[in-house]
Structure 1
Amino acid sequence: MANRQLCRVCVPRLLPASFSSTLSAVSSSRRSTVSNRQSMREARLRAAREQHSSPPSYTLADLVFNPDLQRSLSDGKGTIETKKCDKDCSEAFEEAVEQLNYLLISDETNKAVNAAFEAAIAQLNYLQSNEDTIRDSVISRRDAKKFTVKYLERSGLALETVEKLNYIHVSGTKGKGSTCALTESLLRHQGLKTGFYSSPHILATNERIRINGQPLDKAKFTEHFWKVYNRLWELREHDHDMPAYFKFVTILGFHVFVEEKVDVAVLEVGIGGESDCTNIVRNVGTVGITSLALEHTDLLGTTLEEIAWQKAGIIKPGSHVFTHVTQPECLEVIRQRAKDNGIDTIFEVPPTEDYFKSEATAAQPYEDLSAVIKLNGSLAVQLAMDYLVRAKGRKHIANEVLMDQQLLDGLVKSHWPGRCQKVEWRGMRLFFDGAHTLESIEVCAEWFHKNVKDSPNPKILIFNRKGQSDIRPLLKVLRRTCPFDMACFSPNLSAAKPIYASQVFLSVSEERQLGRSQAIANDWDDLCRNENTPCNSQAFAHMVDAFVAIRQKFPLTENSGHLDVLVTGSFHLVGAAIAALDAIDQSQRNNEEEEEQK
């Protein structure tokens, strides 16, 4: 079978993550109790052809996390392409189905993998800290690195073993995750095996640990989880002697990177830098610091200088330090911390636009780049090239403006879900951005305005933000974006009960989350009254309620109901929105199937 030339009618052009559902009928036929092999072949072939003739079923999550699938649908290629042939290709078609079955996990196995993963995440959630514990941690945060090393080595992994890998470490207030994603993509497009550790996740916890740009396989995540968890549990010295959630997942990430033998791992700082759990590696050669602003002031300090001191805490002796920080007072702090580590020079990277003035980039105008690349592309290129110089002997001078096709591919083909991302779904243009600082909200608002300024569709805002800081400056920016026809405020909850274990958050009670959403809605209405505009806000208990209310107000018909929906303020809110819309869609399909069976 391996050597047979298969007709194109037999082979799908597109294999999205959800394609197992497209061939579910084939799997079912394969498991049926057909009396003889010929009957089984005919049944399987018939079922495959039936599935082949209809478009596959996609979820919103598939579109968010699979850019190739989204591009194919946008190009009108969301169904499997075929072409006619003038011969009987039944045998070849069957062999193609056989081949695909080897690539796809059976329904039962897939369900088992998901169930095991959900069980692991449910156990992991017990390590989340409640509000009182988080307040106490402010005082003891200086011990975070010490305890991370303690639990890392207790889990069976020596720090010296971790430090045998190569690392790029990135801190900052705005854009550190995007910079890491771009850097990882740049290195992967150079043929390297990459690891990438980031936070938070959108839908599932395994998104935090990536190999070659993809979230760690759920089966592998589950395997590594129990190996590390059980060892730590068995070696406890007292009942509460377990690492907290973020510390545990960080340790798990190091286990995975060592096991996978990655060429380089890109680490995104969680909070701050100096005392962050990721900051245990002592020999990081390449360091990036993105733009800075006031954030987590209870943990990091109340001035920009204090914030800069924390962020620059990831600098190590011998590190090459790159940044696009602009505030003089912050740069001075970063330079001093570099000098404290024996480093005389930090590199302030050139603007990304400078890379797009040569013939090599003529086919990719700077104006057409995403906001993520415009803001963070230069820093990512310098971080990636610095590693390639150090580890692979590439010729490159720090801050040299260089762009070739490989680097360009690494930038434009990078994918970072939930960051300035537009997805079309069921009559809605969904604009997802987890922006949660004033500066990132300004970027988000500009991006949204650019996309909808000529659109006749009603504009819907869905917003939430954790924390107790003043939210009104962010709301003012959003109100200037466009006249929203409806403003929805909801906790980061997909439904009355969490749809996925990865969306269970114990750090803040549901009651306080609901209170926070109502308070934000009240602030929005206050701004409306001050500006003599209609008060159009509404607070909801969860995202399913929000989307149901939106569709009740703007029902989708053949001629109306198309919407532009901005979901922003929190990455967890983005995840809750995706899960809610998929749950609504699944419920509608179930109802339709029940009606058809009557």
Structure 2
Amino acid sequence: MFNTLNDAKNWVETQVKFRPKVSLDHIKRALAMLSLDFSGINKIHVTGTNGKGSVCMYTTTVLVEAGLKVGTFTSPYLISFNERIKLNNQNITDEAFLKLLNEIYELNENYKRESGETLSFFELLTLAALKYFAEEKVDVMVIEVGIGGLLDSTNILDYDVSVITNVGLEHTKQLGDTIEKITYNKLGIVKKNHHLITTIDPKQHAQVIAHCQNVGATYQLITDEMIKTISDYPYIIEYDNKQYELSLLGDYQKYNASLAIEVVRYLYPEIDDTLISRGLSKTIYPGRLETVLDGVIIDGAHNMHAINALIISLHSVFKMYNIHVLFSALSDKEPLTMLDALKPHVSTITTTAFPDTRYVTLEKLPYNFEIDPLKALKNLIKNKRENDLVIITGSLHFIGYMKKEIIPYL
């Protein structure tokens, strides 16, 4: 048992991150030991290469605006570990989280005695979130997939609606090395009697339709032609002959917002469109084209799919600016590929370091390198002119570090 939240967090963070899986029987047995009651709770499951966090936050904010009690489970976090589990858009309190992790520790010990095995980091967090939401008797749960879908720890409930944002090459060791294999993995969240809403690329529509017909699920495909951008700033879109102002910037947000709109309409057709509009305009999601200082923006473009989305935003939302990039990433990413893609669309690129065990130096890449991120950012700000914009991007862990440890001291 733990007396402080830091001790509890240290324990859960030192558990094995992910285990090789051939089924979900392991975590299903642990869930059964908790004897949780999910009756009366609507359940939303969201996966995709990028955008799933934004969909979760849009959906959560609209439902809270409509007066519902909403539990939200997302990952990773930027500043506080508590960001992973939210109740009505507020991070779980330290007191509640400490109590919850102590209970999950006990579950892990009991499970070890019964099975001889322990649970992984993400399994433990998933069970913690589900336990918290069940005991809080929320009206609806919004659950973000960790990796993939088919064998993800969150894929242990019967969800009322499933969402797939998009599919790109990611986590290829776990999910497969082709778009078709990764799509198959993400479609694993869609089961009999489920309803799928997706903005997946039309190239994958045949695979999506075949899967849904095969398992007995219904589906709704949202395509590019169904959404119009009315204004880049403020960001206003038109969907289903209605206009919505979005609080989150970036061309890709039109897809995320349309998914949230349809999820709410499907589960709660009685919710008035004015409430949906209000929720979309009030959504806050740190780290997504977020202004942190005058002329300084952070964005978690942590893979090639997200870098391509950022490039589109550079030519729409930020087309009047000269862009100066400050970049860092973890070793499991493709930093050179990402930087080479950005290069034709920006004025300068500076790479830097940050304290993370998975960081591998970027010094040997053919880009300006400054090991001290504080000094690198200070230099960019010092030399910034009226039409210049600094964008801090790369790993989510990097932008989280910058926001917590660097930005406050400038």
Q: Secondary structure at the match of 2:12?
A: helix
In structure 1, the partner of 2:329 is: 464
SS in 2 for 1:517: coil
Say whether residues 1:356 and 2:356 are aligned partners: no
Q: Which has the higher helix share?
A: 1
Partner SS for 1:180: helix
Of residues 165, 186, 192 in structure 1, which corresponds to 2:62?
Answer: 186
* TM score, norm. by length of structure 2: 0.87
Q: Structure 1 451/309 Cα, relative in aligned 2: closer, same or farther at 3 Å? A: closer
Deviation at 1:554, TM superposition (A): 5.5
Is the CA contact 2:58–2:257 (under 8 Å) kept in the aligned structure 1? yes
Q: CA deviation at 1:409?
A: 0.7
Equivalences for residues 29-428 of structure 1 within 5 A: 116-129=4-17, 137=19, 140-143=20-23, 145-154=24-33, 156-158=34-36, 161-162=37-38, 165-237=41-113, 241-282=117-158, 284-328=159-203, 330-343=204-217, 345-350=218-223, 351-353=226-228, 356=238, 361=243, 370-371=250-251, 373-389=253-269, 394=270, 404-424=273-293
Ranges in structure 2 where 5+ consecutive residues have no aligned partner: 230-236
**1:582 CA displacement:** 5.5
Does the aligned pair in 2 maintain the 1:192–1:263 contact within 8 Å? Answer: yes
Q: CA deviation at 1:220?
A: 0.9
User: Is contact 1:449-1:482 (8 Å) kept?
Assistant: no
The answer to whether the 8 A contact 2:326-2:390 is kept is yes
TM superposition shift of 1:335: 1.7
The amino acid across from 1:547 in the alignment is L
Q: How many residues align?
A: 400
Partner of 1:64: none
Asked whether the 8 Å contact 1:142–1:275 carries over to 2, the reply is yes
Is 1:570 aligned with 2:402?
no
Residue 45 of structure 1: aligned partner: none
Q: Secondary structure at the match of 1:142?
A: coil
The 3 A distance-change label for structure 1 pair 239 and 264 is: closer
- Give 1:419 shift: 1.4
Residues 33-59 of structure 1 deviation map (CA, whole Å, 9 limit, x = unaligned)? xxxxxxxxxxxxxxxxxxxxxxxxxxx
Instruction: Give the Cα–Cα distance (whole angstroms) in 2 for the partners of residues 124 and 309 of structure 1.
Output: 30
1:452 deviates by 5.2
Q: Which has the higher strand share?
A: 2
Report the CA distance shift for 1:295/1:359 in structure 2 as closer, same or farther (over 3 A): closer
Q: 1:430 to 1:231 in 2, by over 3 A?
A: same
- Identify the residue that residue 342 of structure 2 maps to in structure 1: 478
Match of 1:445 in 2: 311
Structure-1 residue corresponding to 2:361: 517
Q: Distance in 2 between matches of 1:240 and 1:203?
A: 35
In structure 2, the CA distance between the partners of 1:315 and 1:239, relative to structure 1 (3 Å rule), is: closer
- 1:581 corresponds in structure 2 to 406
**Percent of matched pairs sharing the same residue:** 25
Aligned-pair CA distance for 1:149: 1.4
2:350 maps to which residue? 487
Contact 1:464 / 1:492 at 8 angstroms: preserved in 2?
no
Q: Using structure 1 for the length normalisation, give the TM-score.
A: 0.61
* Aligned counterpart, 1:589: none
What is the deviation of 1:488? 2.0
Judge conservation of contact 1:174–1:439 (CA < 8 Å) in 2: yes
Deviation per residue, 1:289-341 (Å, 9 max, x gap): 1111111111111111111111011112111111111243x222222221222
Say which one has the larger Rg.
Answer: 1
Gaps of 5+ in 1: 1-114, 396-402, 494-509, 526-534, 586-598
How far the C-alpha of 1:259 sits from its partner, in A, is 1.2
